[in-house]
Amino acid sequence: MRFRIVALFAVLLLLVGCGAREAATTPLPTAPVAPVFTPTPVTSSASPTVPSAPVVEPAATATTINLPTIIVSPPDLNTLQLTVEPILNGFRNPTHITNAGDGSGRLFVVEQAGAIWIVQGAVRLEEPLLDLTELVGSQGNEQGLLSIAFHPQFRENGHLFVNYTDRSGTTVVARYTLSADPNRADPASATILMTIDQPAANHNGGLLKFGPDGYLYIGTGDGGAGGDPWNNAQTLSSLLGKLLRIDVDSNEPYAVPANNPFVNADPARSEIWAYGLRNPWRFSFDRATGDLYLADVGQNALEEVHVQPASSLGGENYGWKIMEGDRCFNASSCDQTGLELPVFVYPHGSAEGGCSITGGYVYRGQAFPQLNGVYVFTDFCTGNLWGTYGDGVGWETALIGRVDLRITSFGEDEAGELYLVDRTGGGVYRLVVE
Diameter of the chain measured on Cα atoms: 61
86-111 per-position pLDDT tens digit: 999 999 999 999 999 999 999 999 99
393 Cβ neighbours under 8 A, 6+ residues apart: none
Nearest by Cα to 384 from 1, 6, 123: 1
Instruction: Please say whether the beta carbons of 205 and 199 come within 8 A.
Output: no
Q: Please indicate, yes or no, whether the overall pTM of this predicted structure exceeds 0.85.
A: yes
54-64 per-position pLDDT tens digit: 888 765 444 44
pLDDT for 52 beyond 70: no
C-alpha distances in angstroms, 140 versus 20, 131, 137, 196, 224? 10, 18, 9, 19, 14
Gap between the Cα atoms of 268 and 275, Å rounded: 11
Number of compact structural domains in the chain: 1
Helix (H, G, I), strand (E, B) or coil at 299: coil
Please, which pLDDT band fits residue 41 given cuts at 50, 70 and 90? Answer: very low
Beta bridge partners of 256: 55
Q: For the chain, give the percent of residues with pLDDT over 90.
A: 78
Helix (H, G, I), strand (E, B) or coil at 273: strand
Please, which pLDDT band fits residue 139 given cuts at 50, 70 and 90? Answer: low
Instruction: Please say whether the beta carbons of 431 and 36 come within 8 A.
Output: no
Helix (H, G, I), strand (E, B) or coil at 371: helix
Instruction: Please say whether the beta carbons of 320 and 276 come within 8 A.
Output: yes
Helix (H, G, I), strand (E, B) or coil at 232: helix
Q: Which residues constitute the domain of residue 40? A: 2-433
Gap between the Cα atoms of 132 and 143, Å rounded: 13
pLDDT for 3 beyond 80: no
- Which sign, positive or negative, has the C-alpha torsion 314, 386, 324, 163? negative
Q: What is the CATH number of the domain that holds 138?
A: 2.120.10.30
